[in-house]
């Protein structure tokens, strides 16, 4: 059997995975915050 080595030009870096998860959470929080603020602005505009 042939020994399998790395397939691809770049190697996966464990630190990047942690950074990607952190960045994904940050973007999710930012999007949810923007949606809440936008909905609150529309509701406030309608009521006032």
48 within some domain:
yes
Structure tokens at 6: 């790395």
As a whole number of angstroms, the distance between CA 24 and CA 18 comes to 10
5 within some domain:
no
8 within some domain:
no
Confidence (pLDDT) at 5: 61
Residue that the structure tokens 């990047």 belong to: 16
34 within some domain:
yes
- How far is CA 4 from each of CA 8, 10, 18, 21, 33, rounded to the nearest angstrom? 12, 16, 26, 29, 46
Confidence (pLDDT) at 34: 98
Confidence (pLDDT) at 14: 65
41 within some domain:
yes
7 within some domain:
no
44 within some domain:
yes
**Segment 1-48, tens digit of pLDDT:** 556 665 666 666 667 777 788 999 999 999 999 999 999 999 999 998
Provide the domain limits for residue 32. 14-48
């Amino acid at each position: 059997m042939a020994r399998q080595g790395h397939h691809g030009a770049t190697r996966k870096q464990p630190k990047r995975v942690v950074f990607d998860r952190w960045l994904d959470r940050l973007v999710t929080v930012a999007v949810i915050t923007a949606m809440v603020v936008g909905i609150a602005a529309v509701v406030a505009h309608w009521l006032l």
